[in-house]
Amino acid sequence: MGGNKYFPRRLSFPKICDILVAYLNAGADKEYVGVSDVVERSNVSLHNISRNNNFFKSWRFLEESEKEPGKYILNREAAEFAYAYRIDPRGEKTREMLRRFLSKDEVLVKFIERIEREGLSRDALLVELPRVYGDLRADKVGLNAFLDMLAYAFGLKEISASMEGPPKRMERTAKTIKASIGPSEVKLPMPGASININLNISSDVSPQKLKEYIKAILEALQTTENKEAVSE
């Protein structure tokens, strides 16, 4: 797997695999096929398939026809992986096929050893990969897809997406908030009156909304007091 290497462009690892399966379904394991033949068998747009063909070619998943540029055929081992992925995407045999295929690249093998030896984080790898392979135009989505591919093939749990999920968000439970407003808080000149108001507020009510509710209550009380003063 010599020559310049490119990373995927703005596609996830499952989408990359979907494209390979689509090439297989289009018959690219037997003959050269065009992107238009592939897009009909994939959920990926023609544009995204086309701009990822540099990745597929550079890693030898695909070979481009010399006689008919723009038409491609699957590498035999890539076709076998695509077939296995179509049948059993989570199977160990499927992972082994991809691992064996990628291991033809000596630079990658040494890089995998370095990941395991130094315990490099996913963030560090996002910076290191483009530097090692010289693809300085790589985008973050594509780099993450490639890291997911490595985690899948080589069992690198330390950098797998499931281990690097988004920060846990504190879930707000639907508790009832009770607000008790005493006479001093109401600040109404109502001698001898003691008012306690209980508000049952659900958790999805924002503090600003709560203030508006309280303000409306105070205004209603003020209006009532004014009417009583006029009647007297």
Domain ranges of the chain: 13-159, 177-231
Contact 78, 20 (CB under 8 A): yes
Token couple for 155 = 């069992």
Lowest mean pLDDT among 74-83, 89-98, 160-169, 215-224: 160-169
- pLDDT mean over 209-231: 66
Nearest-angstrom CA–CA distance, 129 and 114: 12
- Band of pLDDT at residue 171, cut at 50, 70 and 90: very low
Q: Determine the pLDDT at residue 65.
A: 98
* Residue 51 identity: R
Mean pLDDT, all residues of the chain: 83
* Residue 55 identity: F
pLDDT at 165 over 70: no
What CATH number does domain 13-159 carry, 3.30.70.20, 2.40.50.100, 3.30.43.10, 1.10.10.10?
Answer: 1.10.10.10
pLDDT at 142 over 90: yes
Contact 154, 99 (CB under 8 A): yes
Contacts of residue 41, Cβ cutoff 8 Å, sequence gap at least 6:
21, 22, 25, 26
Ordered alpha helix ranges (H), 103-190: 106-118, 122-133, 140-154, 183-186
Percentage of residues in the chain having pLDDT higher than 70: 72
Q: Between these two residues, 107 and 203, which has the higher pLDDT value?
A: 107
Torsion angle, CA of 152/156/158/162, rounded to 10 degrees? 10
Model confidence, pTM? 0.69
- Band of pLDDT at residue 177, cut at 50, 70 and 90: very low
Nearest-angstrom CA–CA distance, 170 and 148: 27
pLDDT at 174 over 90: no
Helix (H) or strand (E) segment spanning residue 24? helix 13-25
pLDDT at 55 over 90: yes
Q: Determine the pLDDT at residue 173.
A: 35
pLDDT at 14 over 60: yes
Percentage of residues in the chain having pLDDT higher than 90: 66
Token couple for 76 = 């035999």
Contacts of residue 216, Cβ cutoff 8 Å, sequence gap at least 6:
none
